[in-house]
């Protein structure tokens, strides 16, 4: 029940983003430090059971509809970790999305994923 409840609010966030960015032609950047709580594919996950492809559909649709792309990055993108010493799952939940206008205006911008301390996720964005 809790998972359905949380997903309902995440989907509301995605719908709001779609409405907000629908006619936006200016440069913008969207930083989601775990806020999306979702991945685009099994390639953004290490360990655990593979998810079925259909489970990525809603997030992929929102990313496509809003014309989002991940900002170029360096460092370990698998910053979210769950599990113990023998079994762990790592995911790329922290991301910085940009639109094409942002990329054109700031072609050298990048996100740097800092070392995971176990307490909090850390990323920084460098813009030239």
Q: What is the pLDDT of residue 77?
A: 85
CA-atom Rg of the chain in angstroms = 15
Q: Decide: 18 and 66 in contact? Cβ < 8 Å.
A: yes
* Of 28-32, 41-45, 70-74, 88-92, the least confident: 28-32
Supply 92's token pair: 């790329």
Query: Where along the chain do its domains lie?
Result: 2-126
**Per-residue pLDDT tens over the stretch 52-106:** 999 999 889 988 888 889 999 988 888 777 776 566 888 888 889 998 999 999 9
Listing DSSP states for 49-98 in one string gives PPPPGGGGHHHHHHHHHTT-EEPPEES-S--EEEE-SS-EEEE--EEEEE
Q: What is the pLDDT of residue 21?
A: 78
Name the percent of the chain lying above pLDDT 90.
22
């Amino acid at each position: 029940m809790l998972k359905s409840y949380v997903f309902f609010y995440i989907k509301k966030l995605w719908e709001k983003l779609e409405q907000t960015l629908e006619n936006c032609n200016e440069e913008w950047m969207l930083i989601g430090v775990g806020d999306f709580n979702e991945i685009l594919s099994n390639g953004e996950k290490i360990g655990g059971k593979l998810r079925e492809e259909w489970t990525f559909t809603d997030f992929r649709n929102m990313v496509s509809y809003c014309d989002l792309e991940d900002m170029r990055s360096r460092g370990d993108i698998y910053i979210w970790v769950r599990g113990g010493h023998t079994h762990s799952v790592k995911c790329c939940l922290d991301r910085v999305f940009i639109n094409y206008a942002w990329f054109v205006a700031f072609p050298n911008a990048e996100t740097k994923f800092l070392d995971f301390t176990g307490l909090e996720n850390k990323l920084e964005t460098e813009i030239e």
